[in-house]
Each structure stands twice: as C-alpha cells, then as structure tokens.
Structure 1
C-alpha cells in the first residue's frame, strides 16, 4: 500500500505543478510512436500495452548493458548473473528461464531473432549499438506467433547526430571493463549503408566471470524504385563469458566474489572452467513494394548459424545450430470518409536444426562422449490483423493467428534411435483490443488475448540429456484495461491485467546439478503497471537549470500458483518463483548550460521468492546510480562527448540474477558493490 500511495502522491504533485505553469512556457514532449502493428501510431491512441525505449533514454544509461534501462519500464525485468549472462522476462516469464529468454518473441529490424526452438541469444547484441526497443506486453501471438509473455522489437542504433558519417566511442570502468565502438554510414543516391562495430571485455566482479565480445553489424538499403526498396542485414557476434555459478546464503555472505566452490564429489566452477562460447552469423534480406496507392507487400528471408559450447560442472555441451525464417504479408490501407482501415494478412515459417553432443568435462577440455542427439523444430503460423480508426477517436483492432508446432529427434549415443516426430495440436490465438480518445489528452484502452507458448528445445532436452516428449505447452487468457494521459509536459500510462495460465513450465534441478522441466499446473497473475513522466522545467535557453525531467514507474505483481502439486507437496497459493511483488523506479535528469547534464536513477525491488515451495527469498534492495556528461559540437565540424558515472552508490549487497529452485540452496549470484565508469566519443 505504501507504493500505491507513493505513486498517487507523484501523480497529484506533478499535476498540481503542471497546473501552475503558464502556457507560454510549455514545450511539448516528443510524441512516442508504436510500430508493432505495422504502421506508426501515437502511443496515446494505441490499444496495445506497449513501452518504448528510444535513443535519448538509452544514452542516459550505462552503455555496457541494457539492464538498468530496461528495468526502468514497468512489467519488464532484466537480470545479469554475471557479465554476458542475461535473463529477460515480461510479466513473470522468468519462471522457466535458467538463463536467456522464454515465452517471448524477439525481432531485430523485422527479422526474427528468436529461433523455431524458442531460444533467443539476446546477449550476442552490443548494448551501445541498440537505438530503439519496443515492448508489447502480454500475449501478442495474433501477429508474432507463439508467445505468452509478449514481443520485443529491436532496432539498431544510428550513431551521432544527423549528418555525421563516422563516430567512435571509448570507455572503461571497474573490474577491467573496456569498451570500443565505431560507426560508419554512407549515403549515395538511392543506396545507403551503415556499419556498427564493437568490442567489449570485462574481468567481472566475481572469480571466473570474465567476458569478451566482438560484434559487427552491416545494414544496407537500396530504394531502386520510388515505390520499392530492398533492405539487408548481416550480423556477426563472437561471445565468450565465464559462469561463476550460484552460492548459498552463507557462502555469499562470507565471500561474494567467489565462484561456486567444490561440493562433495562435484568440482567447482573455476576448476571446470565453466563458460559459454557462442559464435553466430545472422543474415537477412527484406523486399517492400507499394503495389498501388493502397496495397503494399513485404517479404523477408533470414537465417543464422550458431556454434555453441558450454563447459559446465557436470558435462561439456556443444551445439551446432542453423535456423531459417520466412515472413511475408500484404497490407491494405485505405481511408473511407472518417474511417481509416488497415488490414494485414500473412504468414511466418521457421525451422531450427540442432546437433547436440555432451562430453565429460575434464577441467574445460572435452572428454568421452556422453550423449548425442539431433533435434529439429518447426514453428509456422498464419495471421490476419484488422484495425479500424473511426473519426480519429475510436480504434478497434481484431487479430488472430493459427499456430503449428512440431519437433523431431534422433539419437546416436548412447543408444541409436531413429527419427521420432511429435506434432502439437494447432492453436488459434485471437486478440481483440480497442482504444477510445475521451479527450485530446486522455485515452482509455482494453484488450483480451490468448497466449500460447510451446516448450523450447532447451527445455525438451535439458542438461539431464533426457528428451522429454511429455512436456506440454503453456496456454492462457489475458484480460487488460488501462488509461493514458498526455500533455505537452506530463504523461501517465497505467494498466491493470489478469492472466490465467495453464500448464506453467517450471525448472527443477537434481542432486547432481542437472536441470529438467515439468508442467506445474496453473497460475493466476494479477498486475498493476504505471509509468509517469513530467517536465518539471521545460527546455529553455536561460537560467542555471535548462531542463528538469522526472520519471517514475511502478510494478505490482500478485502472481500465484493456482493449482500446483509436486509429488506430495502442494504449492497452490504460493507466490510465483522469481517475481518480486513490488518494483519502483524513479529517475531525474537535469540539464545545465553548455550541454552539461546529470542523470540519476533509483530502483527499489521487493523480496523475490527463490523456490516454488516459498521457503527461500532474496532480500529487497535499493540501487542508486548517477551519470553526468558534456557534449560539444563545433559548427560543421566534429562532436565531442565526455561522460562518467557510478552504479550501486549505496553499496548494496544483492543478487541481481538468482538461480531458481537451485539444489542445495545455491540461489545467489552476488552483484558488484559500488563501481564506476567513464568514456569519450567523437563524431565527424
């Protein structure tokens, strides 16, 4: 209740301050556009539960990772167990993630980054090369295929200011952090291309937690006709990071920098040189043509190759993966009187082939073969989406998709097994949503949608090397309503939702530290999300303070298991594992003369249940960070920027990424205490 009172107080205070401002001093906030449903629409009028992080917001945050920027949004949580080891969840989807992403569909510049097996290697991307992130919270399978958490749309960063053709950024910080980024772009008539290149390394806070990443991204566009263009992308990432492993509460308190020590006959993480090695090449080409004034057609073909190695405590796993994706749709956009009609229909097809091999791990060296399997996942769906904009006031959207999922496998060791194919039942995923503009500044929205998420290949064949054909997909219905208020100085986005999920997939760990997954019955997920922005001082050209902006987001998650029995234990009514009940994030940015700024952010996260039984919790914590910078631009010359910052100023002892349901109470991955960073960038 205290958090609700705080949010209400912020709302009343900012509204009263706004009421005292004269109209002549008002400078309008930038209108946020939502692109998820094919055409740009102001966030105020969108029926979707959307959140957007633009280049301006990303530039205020530490650019070694996206963690603090993403965690500033309500309903979304990103964790970092160690540098490079990220987990991302929307509305509780962390429940089934040992690491990485589940329940979500991720796209990079309209190309699927999530493979047909449900896996997404988000950590391959360089944080500083990301320019815009759009989150669609809740089931969005009507357009983006199987998911129950939502969809994420990523766009590469356009470095520097308009007109800059080259920029370079150098930075460093605590624990051996070093970053280098370069950007080059060229425009020649109808042809544009740009190159992002980045290198990042870190020794990490803990023993056995070093990171190295080499990254390059080439984007091209050729507008060969006034009504047609071709876009292409080529991405390469070479990532390796060490994994220190989880500690018990006693071990974490005694030495938070330690890697997981030996236990019984099991060696420690450093002894086994536990790490992840991932080399991935992604390529895609997209063709877009306006056939007539009202009709447009888009088709894209993409694919990626992955060479994955994971020496772990119990074994040494290698994976050779290849994925191809086809996405195509036709669009009709027409205006009839006071009605704007937008209709899209199309399909997406994906296939991922994975060659698994597990060996004994002899201190980071492959030993004898333990298991060898080949798996193939196919995920296809056809969709249709209709949007009606009536009188520039009422938006009605209806959409549906039919989803087909199958996987096949064959084994060559320790036993030979021929190809076995399993097809899940076809799933219809409808969505109905609307938004009504009550006044030019105030809109109400509501939606109902169905979520569906099949088990991923990483869950079907987990680290116990057993292919679990009995694992069932998650399904559920989401009901949501919300309101948005936006003026030139103030914005509010608030929503309440209720999601009932069946067959929730939960991670379990054996005594030998091998993971497996089970269906845990149902969940009841009721949540409240709010985000407030207020220009306390609108941008101006005089005074010591040239602008002052306050932002606040609040997430309340009453997420419970509704029907979950595990052997003799009954976990029904327990809080959903890994989800804090309350998260409150407040930030303040102050601009001074000479393009000097100071940005500060406070993150309060409540207690987090660490196991399904509800017998272990991570303590609540408060994180405080600050960043300051200065930017100088010479007329028709170069741009120079300097920045410096500090994270965890309160020197909190906390674990940002916890190992859920860990055997032996090894839940905790201690995060660094107070740490610092600085950098410089030059643009031409």
Structure 2
C-alpha cells in the first residue's frame, strides 16, 4: 500500500512542474483524434448530469482484446472478470452481490437500450475496437437513462471524422494463441455516413478449458435526409463460443491457478452465444429550439450453456421504442433546457434445461440427456422521464428530473402442469424516481455540483423465483437515495484536471443471492446497506517540447460500504463491510508521446482486499498489476498509414484473483470455490494499416 501511495504522489508532483504548447494530433486512423476528448459529458447525457468518458486515451493503455482494463481505470467502477465471457460490472458497490453477469444498471449502444428485460447487460458482446468511447454515469443521476442504482453506460460506435473515406485493418497476435483481426471501413460525404467493421478473435486462454472464439459484424450508418431529418441504422451481430473453467477453491488456486474446476473440465463446459441487435433512429428538428429523437429496436439472443449440473438452452427476443424530446427557451435572458420522453421495452425469455450426461460420454465432454425444465417469461418495462434545467445566473444552475418506472414479469412453467406455477405474474407497482442537481461555477475553471436522486433495481429472473421454481410474491425491488457532492477543477491553462466526488447511497430491500445447491441460487430481500465513497481523478498534460508530451494520471477510489441492517436466518451482520467490494482501488499511469509518431504508456492497477463472506472472516488478497504498451504510427505519403504496437500485460507476473464469488459453500465435502485466477504475464503485438481516399 505504501508503494502505491508514493508512486501516486510522485507521478502527480513530477507532472505538475512543467508546461509548454500542445502536441498536434494525427486524425488518420481514429487512434489519436480523440486523445483529448475525455470530458464531463457528451451529447448522450442531457444537461448538468456529470459522467465520465473513456476513449482512445484510455483504450491505448491496454490490449484491444478486452474492454475490462479500460473500464477499471474509472474511479468508482470495478469490473470483476472471471473470463472474457464472464464479466460483472460494479459501480460504487452496486452489483457486487450479483453472482454472475452485470445487472442493476442500464446500458445503451448509442441511443439503443441493450439491457434485457430482467436488467442484465453483456459488455462482452461488444468489441473494444468498434467503439469510439464509453460514457459512464455513476449512480441514479441520469433520469433519461433509467435512474438505476448502478447508473448507466453508453457505448459510442466509431464514426468517420469529417468528410473522408477510410479503410483500416488491425491484426493482433499474442500469448495463449491469441489472434485478433479488425477490419474497418468508415465513410462520410456530408450526408451519408457509413461505418462497417468486421472482427474475429481466437485465444486458447490462460487456464484449462478456456478457449474463446468470436466473430462480430457492426454496421452503423446514417443519412441526412434534409435540414430537419436524419435517419440512422445500427446492426450489431456477435457470434461467440467460450469454454468455462469456473472458479477455484483456495487450495486449488494456490497449487495451480491454470487448472479448471474438475467437474467443468470433465464436462468441457462452455457457452455458445448468437446475438443480434438492430436499431433504427430518426431525429427530427421541429425548430431551432425543439427536436425529437426516436428509436425502435429489436434484439435476439440464442444461447446454449453446458454446465456439469445441466445443459441450458435460452432464446431471448426483445423489442422496444425510445423517444426523447428536447428543447430550450429563454429564461432571464439565459438558455434554459428541457427534455421529456419515454422508453418501452418488452422481451420474451424461453429457457429449457436438460441433464448433462458427460460422465457417460467416454471423456468427450457434455452430452445432452433428458429434459427436466421448460420455462417462459414475458417481461414488460416502461420508463417515462423528464428534466428541466434552469440557469438562474451565469454561475448557478439547477436541474430537476423525474423518472417513473413500471415493471411486470409473467412467468410460466411449461414442463410441470401445476396450477400454482402454470401462470404466475409479478406486477411491481409504479415507482417514482426524482432527481435534483445543483451546479455552481466558482470561476470559469472551477465548479462544484451536488446531486440528490432516487434509484431502483429490479430483481433478476432467478431472484424472482422460489427454490421450487414458482414466483416469489414477497420479492421487492431495491430502492435507494443517492447524495453526492463533486467538483470539476482546471488549473494551469486547463492542462491539469481534477475531479473529486463524495457520495453516500442508502439501499433498502437489499437483494441477495442464496446458494441452494452447488450452482443454484435464489434471491431474497435481506436488509439495508450504506455506500459511502470518495473518488479522485487527476490528469495532467505536460508538453515538454514541440515533439515530446508526457501525460500522467491518477484515479483513486475509497469505498466505505457496510450493512446497515442485515439479518440472515437469525444471524445479525449489521455493521459488517459489504461483501464483494474492495475498500481501495486505484490506477496510475504515464503516457508518453514523441515526435507525434511514437507512444509509450505504462499503468499500475491496485486492488485492496475484498470481503468474501458476510461474517467478514475471509478476504481475498490485495494485488498490484502493471501493464505497458508502446507503438509507432507513421504516414506513408498522403494516403497510407502504418503502425505497430507491442504490449505486456501483468508485467511482473503477479498471481492474483481477477474475480471472486461471495458466500460460496462447498458441497459433497468439496472446498468452497471463491476465486477466478487472473492471467499470468502475457505479450501481444499489433500491425495497423490504414488507407484514406
């Protein structure tokens, strides 16, 4: 911990001593053109709502294989990654008790919602190289994006810069049999914008039974019909197959972190996903002060997952509509803004389960046996929202927001013809979610803000069912209040940027997963939690000369999250630390650019111990991970660009846990499995070719 602290201070003090003129940016390959894009908000976030953006500046620190390292650079955000296909995003501790996958937040691809009807989002379905940026709203501050307790994540597709036509190809190879190729075409002629990307990735993985293979196709196109109308089409298709090594117990982790869990290795467990998202958007300008953006969308997921205890086959079909009206008007000789709109989402979830007779398959892995479950659930959800931003003076503004959510689940057991669960409906009451934002500019370069907002989270499918597979009539939505105070400060002609946030969230009706079998869980409401936290972000740009730029950064998170009231089967855990949340996380880094062509970025991630049990008697070990990446990008004439990159992950070959499970139990005399090992030191290199017409 001391080493991390001194490293953090030294980076900051060293960088603050100097300043010159900025280095020009190259805009040929979409690598450098957004290097200074990171800001407080983008067009996706309306009004005063603070958000954090990661783009090329953060992406270039890490391998193009995974989104996770770049997202972990954001203060207040921590992504547990059991494998490339198993990620759990937590924001300010929200989502830490979700056992697998990401819920309790809303995710959007441009203006298209990609969170399913039960609240789950899959970041692994999207290729990092197809994104221009990732915007994160922490906590329920974004009225127009669902007011979920965890917040919202908005993924931005790449687009051509200015009037241009570009082709590029990036080939990456590396350790563990890594092969990744991304072919991209971007065109814009003033009216028609086309972005088309195809990517393919294969890797054997660090652990046993961890092969991963993915193909993806993305089409993002728009057309300016006239001065008042713009229409756009988004198509994203991902097909991936991923083997599952699963979690390890402490003994197995210490002996050999590369091994897969015995039963998952014997069953050759895997998941096969075929995912398609289609969205159509129309923007209409009614006048200079009033416009509407309306999207209709459809998504389809066909998934098979072979687990030792059963083979799961899922089909999810969803569709919906999102409309947003926005405008401005004169208030006290200043521009006031307003928005209002709604979002309607429906999906149908079908899942069948079969016996897995892998033990009878002569060592060939999973073998489908008799069916023992057939289920269907219809999920409906709508949000109505509105905001009003009023600038009372040049320095002081306020924003009022209101979101109303209504959710309904209709579950049907089609395998067991029993009257108690043949048709079971869970109709949650409409929930009202207000939001108040105050913003005060101390100077042109310094401002403070405060936010009070109410948020909610819906239970997942598993959490709504009892151990007998019927709807649990007592399960309730999580609700909570968020109180936040933050600053945005610029110094030294805006070369130094400092973000500081203090927050407290109080969550009622905490949803917890209770293990009822080796890999079966149900949910229940178990109490209240308090989430206190401090987040700090420092970024400095030191232009040593015309040809040399050094940009250090420091991102730090302190979490003080605990149970306020938590009584589980007569045992009182009130006052204990919230399970599954590291107390401290931090990322420091140094980015160097030389002669506009060469770069070298090095980062250090620190994660403190994580409580693994509600009793607080077991923690994971803290760890530090260093990464480094360097590259060279050069124009060859007026049309061609060539670049090479080389990187090392886990530079000092640390043994660490990349993800954990909480409150797990051992069954049949076996050791509880808490740990997902992180990758050992590994290498990768890339060759980038670009052509501009």
Q: TM-score range by the shorter chain?
A: over 0.9
Question: Do structure 1's residue 410 and structure 2's residue 412 form an aligned pair?
Answer: yes
Q: In 2, distance between residues paired with 1:16 and 1:332?
A: 41
Q: CA deviation at 1:434?
A: 1.4
Aligned residues: 665
1:5: Cα distance to partner? 7.0
Separation in 1, partners of 2:23, 2:236: 39
Residue 676 of structure 1 is matched in structure 2 by 683
Which residue is equivalent to 2:27?
Answer: none
String of CA shifts for 1:363-397, please: whole Å, max 9, x gaps. 22321111111101111111111112344422211
Contact 2:160/2:187 (<8 A) preserved: no
Q: Name the counterpart of 2:669.
A: none
1:186 CA drift (Å): 3.0
The answer for the alignment partner of 1:243 in structure 2 is: 244
**1:308 aligns to 2:312 (yes or no):** no
Q: Deviations over 1:78-127 (max 9, x none)?
A: 12212322221111123232222111000001100102221112211112
CA distance in 2, matches of 1:538, 1:391: 36
Q: Deviation at 1:32?
A: 4.0
Distance 1:155-1:31 versus aligned 2 partners, 3 A rule: closer
Give the match's secondary structure for 1:93: coil
> Is 590-599 or 291-300 further displaced after alignment?
590-599
Structure 2 residue 144 is matched with structure 1 residue 143: yes
* Contact kept? 1:435, 1:446, Cα under 8 Å: yes
Match of 1:448 among 423, 446, 452: 452
**Residues 594, 289 of structure 1: alpha-carbon distance in 2 compared, 3 angstrom cutoff:** closer
1:529 aligns with 2:531: no
Give, in angstroms, the shift of residue 161 of structure 1. Answer: 9.7
Query: In the aligned structure 2, how far is the partner of 1:158 from the partner of 1:663?
Result: 48
Structure 1 unaligned blocks of 5 or more: 262-267
What per-residue deviation string (whole Å, max 9, x for no partner) do you get for residues 538-572 of structure 1?
A: 16424xxx010100010000000111111132211
Distance across 2 between alignment mates of 1:673 and 1:200: 20
What TM-score results when the alignment is normalised by the length of structure 2?
0.91
Distance change (3 Å), C-alpha of 1:497 and 1:285: same
Deviation at 1:419, TM superposition (A): 2.4
Alpha-carbon shift at residue 352 of structure 1 (Å): 1.2
Q: 1:248: Cα distance to partner? A: 0.8
Number of the residue aligned with 2:362: none
**Contact in 2 for aligned 1:319/1:355 (Cα 8 Å):** yes
CA distance 1:357–1:195, change in 2 (3 Å):
same
**Superposition RMSD in Å:** 2.4
Deviates more, 1:511-520 or 1:272-281: 511-520
Residue equivalent to 1:422? 426
CA positional deviation for 1:142: 2.3
* 1:76 and 2:77 matched: yes
What secondary structure sits across from 2:124 in the alignment? Answer: helix
Q: Which residue among 339, 353, 357 is the counterpart of 1:358?
A: 353
Mapped partners of 1:16, 1:680: distance in 2: 34
**Equivalent of 1:647 in 635, 644, 649:** 649
Matched with 1:435 is: 439
Q: Residues 162 and 148 of structure 1: is their aligned pair in 2 closer, same or farther, counting only changes over 3 Å?
A: same
1:504 aligned onto 2:514: no
Q: Deviations over 1:57-97 (max 9, x none)?
A: 21232110012111111000112212322221111123232
Equivalent pair of 2:75/2:555 in contact (CA under 8 Å): yes
Where structure 2 has 5 or more consecutive residues not aligned to the other structure, the ranges are 25-34, 359-365, 667-671
User: In the alignment, what sits opposite 2:220?
Assistant: 219
In the alignment, which residue of structure 2 is the partner of 1:13? 13
Equivalent position to 1:636, from 620, 635, 638: 638
Question: Displacement of 1:56 after TM fit?
Answer: 3.0
- Give the secondary structure class of the aligned counterpart of 1:213: strand
Give per-residue Cα distances to partners, 1:467-517, cap 9 Å, x unaligned: 434321110101010111113210000010010001111222234331222
Matched, 1:341 2:336: yes
The alpha-carbon deviation at position 53 of structure 1 amounts to: 0.4
Identify if the C-alpha distance between structure 1 residues 458 and 109 changes in structure 2 by more than 3 Å, giving closer, same or farther: farther
Q: How does 1:477-496 map to 2 (within 5 A)?
A: 477-487=481-491, 488-496=494-502
Contact 2:449 2:486 in 1 (8 A): yes
CA distance in 1, matches of 2:578, 2:599: 40
- 141 and 521 in structure 1: CA distance in 2 versus 1, 3 angstrom threshold: farther
Instruction: Pick the aligned partner of 1:296 from 263, 266, 291.
Output: 291
Say which is worse superposed, 240-249 or 622-631, in terms of deviation: 240-249
The SS at the match of 1:395 is: strand
Task: Give 1:617's aligned residue.
Answer: 619
Matched-pair contact (CA < 8 Å) for 1:83–1:209: no
Q: What CA distance in whole angstroms lies between the structure 2 residues aligned with 1:451 and 1:58?
A: 30
* 1:14–1:534 CA contact under 8 A, matched in 2: no
| CA shift for structure 1 position 588 | 0.2
2:265 match: secondary structure = coil
Q: Aligned-pair distance for 1:423?
A: 1.0
Q: CA 1:450–1:154 in structure 2 vs 1: closer, same or farther (change >3 Å)? A: same
For residues 267 and 102 of structure 2, what CA distance do their matches in structure 1 show?
25
Equivalent of 1:384 in 371, 386, 397: 386
Q: In 2, are the aligned partners of 1:53 and 1:133 still within 8 Å (CA)?
A: yes
Task: Answer yes or no: is the 8 Å Cα contact 2:457–2:479 preserved in 1.
Answer: yes
Are the counterparts in 1 of residues 223 and 232 from structure 2 also a CA contact under 8 Å? Answer: yes
Aligned positions of 1:550-629 closer than 5 A: 550-593=552-595, 595-629=597-631
Shift of the 27–592 alpha-carbon distance from structure 1 to 2, 3 Å rule, reads closer
Q: Please, which moves more after superposition, 491-500 or 609-618?
A: 609-618
**Aligned match of 2:29:** none
| Separation (CA, whole Å) in 1 of partners of 2:466 and 2:68 | 26
Structure 2 distance, partners of 1:179, 1:79, is 23
- Decide which moves more: 411-420 or 394-403: 411-420
- In structure 1, how many angstroms separate the alpha carbons of the residues matched to 2:439 and 2:2? 31
Over 3 Å counting, the alpha-carbon distance change for 1:26 and 1:518 in structure 2 is same
Contact 2:244 2:271 in 1 (8 A): yes
Q: Are residues 16 and 540 of structure 1, via their aligned partners in 2, closer, same or farther at CA, if it must alter by over 3 Å?
A: closer
Which residue of structure 2 aligns with residue 264 of structure 1?
none
Judge which range, 445-454 or 563-572, deviates more: 563-572
Instruction: Indicate how the Cα distance of structure 1 residues 420 and 594 shifts in structure 2: closer, same or farther if over 3 A, else same.
Output: closer
SS of 2:57 mapped into structure 1: helix
1:56 — aligned with what? 57
Equivalent pair of 1:211/1:240 in contact (CA under 8 Å): yes
The question of whether the paired residues in 2 share the 8 Å contact of 1:408 and 1:420 is answered with yes
Q: 1:15 to 1:672 in 2, by over 3 A?
A: closer
Quote the offset at 1:131 in angstroms: 1.2
Distance in 1 (alpha carbons) for counterparts of 2:431 and 2:6: 42
Kindly tell me: are residues 12 and 199 of structure 1, through their superposed partners in 2, closer, same or farther at Cα, counting changes over 3 Å? closer
Q: CA deviation at 1:242?
A: 1.1
